[in-house]
């Protein structure tokens, strides 16, 4: 899932919403309604609030709060049942899933096995153009519904047995399939959603701890406690106000003054001091986030062929990751050594062939650039597009300066005012050069870092392969990893797949990012999960 957050100036409407939200829900404290509303920093979602059409944290944070999937992830990444009673298989290919009876959506309609099957079929069908389509690729019959001209509307691998039971047949044995089922793309949908998905996306009918009460675009999303949710994440507060910021400095200042209750990221200017400023209210822990530069396959002649491959290697070698992590990020990041963050088992590997390309080496960078120039001279200067409403400007400038000073070429950042717009321009291939990217694990598996970002099945708008990287060798190694007899054998295949990426460099890994944030003085039980999500249901506020 892609991540970015916050703002420079709050407009009048946003400021008014923030002031009102800080007063907090009904004002009840500790009673049946829980404590006051939690106010947090949000981001305007890229798309309407449809689980299968959301691939970034602006919408994802709201969906995680509002929907209950079959499973959920605890703070340490352990998978636990939510709507599911059992998820069972004897061969890792044919699965039987039983859900708890009696659960409902916020409109009173029943959550049934059909609610899950219908939602997954909706997400997989090409004519519905859902961003999370590729997550359903392992299910038998996916190809028929995902084709450019679908020959079916439902996947043959899904079958409803009764109101509380359905079966899933995968195209091959896949031992990590249950790990994925806590991700919001696998949430159930009520019949109302399938009748009018546009209206649903503006104000979803949900089945989790909260439900959306209002969405004032580019200002805030308000969610309130769902009294009918009876799962393990029952809300201890009245609701959450996700306030849209366009600058991280403003959000941090609001946290310090008590206007904001929970902050999900720290601006670059405060990295050195935020733990002293906030004391035990500061959060700084290992996470499952990787930051990288995507150089899309459609970037033009400068980045293709033999010259393009040499040039990608030269750029990677010209970035002094260690210095940037130390001098700019004050140890809250660590230089990347592979494509999988260390918050996931097997992530942060240092023994993958070709990984030396991620190490700073000025002489080697110059040599590689000269080789590329001898084949085809570079046109213009190196540019790096990024969203300016998140804490990106300083590190983008640092990366560009490192490239400029090492290679002696022009290098500069290209800011885009709003994250949503930035993502839309990427999706429409309007940004044709290198651009800032990052990824937070949706579920604890190396596959989640590799397939959604680089798998052929996740390209073409079907997933988050925004660089449109296509490589059959890489795809084959991922398939072998999924079919491996045990976790150790799977990990070796994942490493082999990463060796292909290190050779081709469809993206350039920069660093792994800690989970950082903070809370106000009146908020208790604040915790972030293994992948950086705020655990809103357990929070209380006086």
- Decide if pLDDT at 394 tops 90: yes
Among 57, 451, 14, residue whose Cα is nearest residue 247? 14
- Decide if pLDDT at 20 tops 60: no
In CATH, 287-515 is 3.10.105.10 = yes
- Decide if pLDDT at 8 tops 80: no
Q: What is the pLDDT of residue 2?
A: 53
Among 368, 425, 209, 383, residue whose Cα is nearest residue 293? 383
Helix axes 393-407, 362-375, angle to 10 degrees: 70
Among 234, 484, 188, 434, residue whose Cα is nearest residue 316? 434
| Summary count for the chain: helices (H), strands (E) | 17, 19
Exposed, middle or buried, 209 (CB in 10 Å: 0-12/13-18/19+)? buried
Exposed, middle or buried, 330 (CB in 10 Å: 0-12/13-18/19+)? middle
Q: Are 463 and 452 in contact (CB under 8 A)?
A: yes
The residue ranges of every structural domain in the chain are 1-66+191-261+520-542, 69-102+112-189, 287-515
pLDDT digits (tens, 9 = 90+) for 437-486: 999 898 889 999 999 999 998 898 877 899 999 999 999 999 999 888 78
User: What letter does residue 377 receive in the DSSP assignment?
Assistant: P
- Decide if pLDDT at 501 tops 70: yes
69-102+112-189: which CATH topology? Answer: Dipeptide-binding Protein; domain 1 (3.90.76)
d(CA 305, CA 279): 52
When the pLDDT of each residue in the chain is averaged and rounded to a whole number, the result is 91
Task: Please list the alpha-helical segments (H only) found in 130-260.
Answer: 142-146, 177-180, 191-195, 197-202, 248-257
Give the DSSP per-residue string, 451-470.
HHHH-GGGTTTTSS-TT---
Q: Which two tokens stand for residue 533?
A: 């999500």
- Decide if pLDDT at 22 tops 70: no
Q: Are 394 and 268 in contact (CB under 8 A)?
A: yes
Handedness of CA 203, 205, 207, 210 (dihedral sign): positive
Among 514, 513, 505, residue whose Cα is nearest residue 317? 505
d(CA 167, CA 234): 28
- Prediction pTM value: 0.78
Assigned architecture for domain 1-66+191-261+520-542 = 3-Layer(aba) Sandwich (3.40)
Q: Which of 1-10, 108-117, 309-318 has the lowest mean pLDDT?
A: 1-10
pLDDT digits (tens, 9 = 90+) for 236-248: 999 999 999 988 8
Q: Which two tokens stand for residue 508?
A: 């350039």
- The secondary structure element, H or E, covering residue 370 is helix 362-375
């Amino acid at each position: 899932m892609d991540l970015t957050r916050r703002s420079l100036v709050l407009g009048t409407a946003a400021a008014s919403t923030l002031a009102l939200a800080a007063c907090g829900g009904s004002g009840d404290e500790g009673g049946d309604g829980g404590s006051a509303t939690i106010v947090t920093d949000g981001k305007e979602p890229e798309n309407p609030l449809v689980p299968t059409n959301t691939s970034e944290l602006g919408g994802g944070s709201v969906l995680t709060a509002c929907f209950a999937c079959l499973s959920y992830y605890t703070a340490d990444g352990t998978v636990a049942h939510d709507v599911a009673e059992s998820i069972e298989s004897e061969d890792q290919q044919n699965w039987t899933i039983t859900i708890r009876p009696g659960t409902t959506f916020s409109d009173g309609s029943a959550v049934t096995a059909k609610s899950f099957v219908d939602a997954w079929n909706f997400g997989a069908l090409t004519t519905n153009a859902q961003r999370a389509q590729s997550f359903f690729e392992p299910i038998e019959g996916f190809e028929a519904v995902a084709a450019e001209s679908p020959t079916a509307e439902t996947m043959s691998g899904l079958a409803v047995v009764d109101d509380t039971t359905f079966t899933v047949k995968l195209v091959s044995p896949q031992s990590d399939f249950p790990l994925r089922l806590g991700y919001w793309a696998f949430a159930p949908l009520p019949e109302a959603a399938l009748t009018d998905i546009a209206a649903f996306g503006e104000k979803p009918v949900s089945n989790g701890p909260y439900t959306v009460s209002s969405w004032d675009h580019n200002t805030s999303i308000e969610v309130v406690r769902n009294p009918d949710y009876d799962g393990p994440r029952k809300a201890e507060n009245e609701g959450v106000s996700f306030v849209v910021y366009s600058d991280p400095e403003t959000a941090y200042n609001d946290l310090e003054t008590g206007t904001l209750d929970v902050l999900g990221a720290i601006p670059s200017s405060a990295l050195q001091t935020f733990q002293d400023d906030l004391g035990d209210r500061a959060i700084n822990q290992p996470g499952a986030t990787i930051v990288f530069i995507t150089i899309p396959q459609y970037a033009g002649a400068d980045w293709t062929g033999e010259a393009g491959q040499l040039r990608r290697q030269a750029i990677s070698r010209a970035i002094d990751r260690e210095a940037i992590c130390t001098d700019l990020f004050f140890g809250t990041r660590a230089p990347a050594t592979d494509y999988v963050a260390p918050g996931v088992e097997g992530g942060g590997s240092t023994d993958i062939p070709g990984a030396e390309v991620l190490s700073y080496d000025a002489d080697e960078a110059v040599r590689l650039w000269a080789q590329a120039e001898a084949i085809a001279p570079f046109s213009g200067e190196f540019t790096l597009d990024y969203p300016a409403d998140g804490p990106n400007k300083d590190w983008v400038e640092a990366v560009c300066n490192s490239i400029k000073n090492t290679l002696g070429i022009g290098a500069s950042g290209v800011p885009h005012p709003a994250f949503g717009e930035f993502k839309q321009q990427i999706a429409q291939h309007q940004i044709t050069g290198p651009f800032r990217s990052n990824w937070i694990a949706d579920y604890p598996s190396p596959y989640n870092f590799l397939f959604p970002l680089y798998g052929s099945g996740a390209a073409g708008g079907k997933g988050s392969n925004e660089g449109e990287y296509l490589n059959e060798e890489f795809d084959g190694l991922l398939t072998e990893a999924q079919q491996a007899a045990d976790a150790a054998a799977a990990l070796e295949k994942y490493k082999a797949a990463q060796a292909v990426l290190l050779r081709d460099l469809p993206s350039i890994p920069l660093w792994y990012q800690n989970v950082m944030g903070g809370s106000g003085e009146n908020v208790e039980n604040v915790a972030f999960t293994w992948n950086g999500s705020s655990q809103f249901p357990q929070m209380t506020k006086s």
